[in-house]
Structure 1
C-alpha cells in the first residue's frame, strides 16, 4: 500500500496540461500518433538490441578473427625464420587470410602507441582482441579512409610489421541492410495505415459537415453511410433525426397556415362590421383593439414560421445593409452606417434583412440615433448596433430573448410589440451559425453585437 501511495502522489504532481498542449487536436492527428508511436518505439527497441548485442558480438568476433590471423602470422615468422619462409608466410597471409602484410626492418613504434580508449567502435574491438592475442607486443591502429582499410602496426623484436586489413573483414554490411529494410518496411506500413485512416476519417467529416449545415437550417442531402460500423450507426441516427425534425417543422408550418386562415377570417369580418358602424368613441376603441390583435397574430406567425425554407446565397453584405439603412431613414430613423467596401458572406438575405430591420426598429423606438458598424475578422462577420437610448439592465438582458417577454409590464403596443422581436432575431442569427449578445453602447444605450460565419 505504501508503494501504491507513493506512485499516486508522484503522478498527482505531474502537469498533464503540457502533454495536452502537445497532443494533436484532430482525430486524424491523434490516430496517426497512435500508429506512429508504437512503430517508433519498436524500431528504437529493436535497433538498440541489435546494435548493443548482435552487432557488438559480430564486430567482436570479426576483430578476434583478424587478431588471431595476425598472431598466427607472427607465430609462423618466429617459428620459421629466414627470408624464404618469410616470403611464403606473407604470401599465404595475402592469399588465404586477405591480409596485406609487409615488414619494415629496423623500425620501431613511437612511444605511446599502445591501445588507448580514443579508438572508434571497430578499432576498439580490434585493439582489445590484439591485446588478448599479442599481450607482450606494442601495436598501433589507424584508419585509412581513402583506402577504406585499417592499418595495423605491430612491434617485432627487430622490425615493425604493417598489416592492412580491408573493412570487409571487420565490418558486416548486413547491419545497415537490416536497418534499411526495417525502416523501409515501417514507412511502407505507415503509408498504408495513413491511407486507411484517411478513408475512415472521411465519413466522420461528412457527418460533421452535414450536422453543421443542418444546424444552420441549410438543406442537407441524404448521403450513404460508410466507414466503420459505429460511424454508419451515427450516420443512420442523424438521418432519422433529420427526417423527424423536418417532419415536425412541416407539421408546424401546416398547422400555422390553418391558424392564420382561421384567425384572419374573423378579424376581417370584424373590420368590415366596424367599417359599417357609425362614428363613435366605442368604434375607435374597437378598431384599435382589432389592429392590435392583427399585429399580435402577425408577430406570432412570424415567430412560429422562423426562417422557412429560404436558400443560402453568397450575398454582398455592404449592399444589403445599405438597403436596410435607406429603408430605416425613410421611416424617420436617424441611423449611420460604417461598412467595408466589399464583403461577401453566405447568408439568407431576406431573413438577415428582417432580423437587422427588426433590431433597428426596436432601437429607434427608445433612442434618437442608431449607429451600425460592419466588419470582418478572418472568416467571421461582426455587426454592432449601438444606440443612445436608456439601454437594458444587465440582469434583464438574458430575459429579452425569451418569447413574449417584454420589459414593459403592460401590454400596450404603443410602447412595444408582442415581445417576439429579439427572439426572432436570435433564431435568425443562430440559424446562420452565429451568436447575438447584448452590452452597453459608448453613448450609454444598448449595444447589440452579432457574429456569424462568412
Structure 2
C-alpha cells in the first residue's frame, strides 16, 4: 500500500472537489506558467537589453553636453550647445548659476534600490560615466524625466521625454497576453460546461435510478465515452427492471400457492369448535400467515410501488395515531418541511416495523423527524433494554433474532429490521442503531430529499 507524502495530502486538500473546476484548473495552470516564463524571458532578454541601450545613449548625450560646456564655458557657446541639444537630441537644457543640489547621487552614495525600474539603468550609467553629483526626477513633469547635474558654479538641468529611457513593448506584450488569456479562458469555460453537463445529467439519472425513480428526460449525450456510459446505465436499468418484473410475477404465484392452503386450514379450524388444542393450532396458523407475509414482503422489496411526492408529516401522524389506537405509549414530534419523493406504503411499513419492534420491549416511544439541509432525519427512541453494541449490525441480517427476543410470545420471522433497512436504502438513505439519551434504543434514519 502506498503511503502518501504530506505534499500529496496537501495538494489533494487544495484541489477542488468537482470536475468542472478541476478541468478548468488543468487548462489555466499551464497557461499561467507558460505566460510567466515568456514574460520573464522577454523581460530578461529583450526589455532589459533594449532599455539598457537606450539609457546608455541618453547618459552618453548628457556626458557629451557637459564636456562641451566644460570646454567652452562662455555664455554664447553654452547657448549654442543648448540649441543644438534641443534641435538634434530632443534635450531641453537649462543652466542655473549659483544653485546646488540637495542630497545628490554620487558614486559613494549610489544605491540601486533608491531608483524605480524606469530610471535605474540611467542612474547606473551616469554613476559610471559622469563622475559628478546628479539627481533624476520623474515626477515633476508627467511623461518627462529631468536630470540635474551639479557643475562647478551652478546646476545644469536637462529634460527629455520618458520614452527615450524605456520601451512600451513590455506593457504591450503583457496586455496582449492578458487579453489572450481572458479570451482563451472564456472559450475554455464555454467548452468545459458543454462537456461537463452530460456528466452531471448522467450522475443525476444514476442517483434517481438508485432510488427507484424514473428520469424520463435523460438521453445519452456528450463525448463518446460519456454516451457509452449513459447507454450502459440505461441497459443495466432495463435488465434490472426485467428481473424485478420476472421476480414479481413468480412471487405472485408463490403467494397464491402458499396462502391457499393456509386459508383452507383456517376454515377447517373454524368448523372444529373451541378447545385449547384448536386455539393453539389457530395461533400457529396465524404465525405461519405472518411469516409468509414477511417472506414475500422481503423478497418483493417494495419494487412495484412507484415513487411519488408525499408529505412525511402526514405519514408520521397517521402511523402515530394507529399506534395510539393499539394502546402504545408513543409521542410524535415533527419540525421543518417534510416534502419529499418516496414510496408512501414502503415508508409506512418501515416505520411500523420499527415501532412494532420497540413496543415489544418498551413502554414509552418517541418518534421525531426534522429537516436538515437536503435530508430528513428520523429518530425513534424507546426506554427498553436496548441492543448490545456488538450486535447492532447483526440484527439487520435476514431471519436474525436476538436471544432475548425468542420468547414464546414473540412471533415473526426476524425480517422487520431487514425490511426497514431495505426501504431506507432504496430511498438513498441509511439506518443505524444507537443508545437513546434516556436509556434504551435509538433508531436513526437519514433520507436524502
- One fold, TM greater than 0.5? yes
> Is 1:338 matched with 2:333?
yes
Shift of 1:107: 4.6
Taking the aligned partners of 1:374 and 1:282, their CA distance within structure 2 comes to 46
Q: From 138, 144, 147, give the equivalent of 2:142.
A: 147
Taking the aligned partners of 1:291 and 1:76, their CA distance within structure 2 comes to 126
| Contact 2:212–2:306 under 8 Å retained in 1 | no
> Is 1:450 matched with 2:445?
yes
Taking the aligned partners of 1:409 and 1:13, their CA distance within structure 2 comes to 50
Shift of 1:185: 0.5
Distance 1:110 1:205, change over 3 A: closer
Shift of 1:276: 4.0
- For 1:180-191, list aligned pairs within 5 A: 180-191=175-186
Encode CA deviations 1:43-63: one digit per residue, 9 max, x unaligned. Answer: 222222222332211211111
SS of match in other structure, 1:374? strand
Shift of 1:167: 0.6
> Is 1:67 matched with 2:62?
no
Q: What's 2:88 paired with?
A: 96
Q: TM-score, normalised by structure 2?
A: 0.89
> Is 1:127 matched with 2:118?
no
Q: TM-score, normalised by structure 1?
A: 0.88
Taking the aligned partners of 1:413 and 1:255, their CA distance within structure 2 comes to 33
Distance 1:144 1:422, change over 3 A: closer
How many residues in Structure 1 have an aligned counterpart in Structure 2? 443
Moved more, 38-47 or 268-277: 268-277
Taking the aligned partners of 2:163 and 2:386, their CA distance within structure 1 comes to 90
| Contact 1:404–1:420 under 8 Å retained in 2 | yes
- For 1:29-428, list aligned pairs within 5 A: 29-77=21-69, 83-109=75-101, 112-115=104-107, 116-117=110-111, 118-135=114-131, 137-156=132-151, 158-221=153-216, 223-277=218-272, 283-340=278-335, 343-408=338-403, 414-428=409-423
Shift of 1:340: 2.1
Q: From 427, 436, 446, give the equivalent of 1:432.
A: 427
Distance 1:404 1:60, change over 3 A: same
Taking the aligned partners of 2:257 and 2:283, their CA distance within structure 1 comes to 20
Taking the aligned partners of 2:119 and 2:141, their CA distance within structure 1 comes to 16
| Contact 1:152–1:164 under 8 Å retained in 2 | yes
Taking the aligned partners of 1:132 and 1:38, their CA distance within structure 2 comes to 42
Shift of 1:14: 4.4
Taking the aligned partners of 1:258 and 1:283, their CA distance within structure 2 comes to 30
SS of match in other structure, 2:360? helix
Gaps of 5+ in 1: 1-10
Shift of 1:83: 4.7
Taking the aligned partners of 2:251 and 2:408, their CA distance within structure 1 comes to 23
Distance 1:40 1:111, change over 3 A: closer
Q: What's 1:19 paired with?
A: 11
Distance 1:389 1:75, change over 3 A: closer
| Contact 1:218–1:311 under 8 Å retained in 2 | yes
SS of match in other structure, 1:153? strand
Deviating runs (4+, > 6 A) in structure 1?
Answer: 409-413
Shift of 1:113: 4.0
SS of match in other structure, 2:34? helix
Moved more, 298-307 or 98-107: 98-107
Gaps of 5+ in 2: none
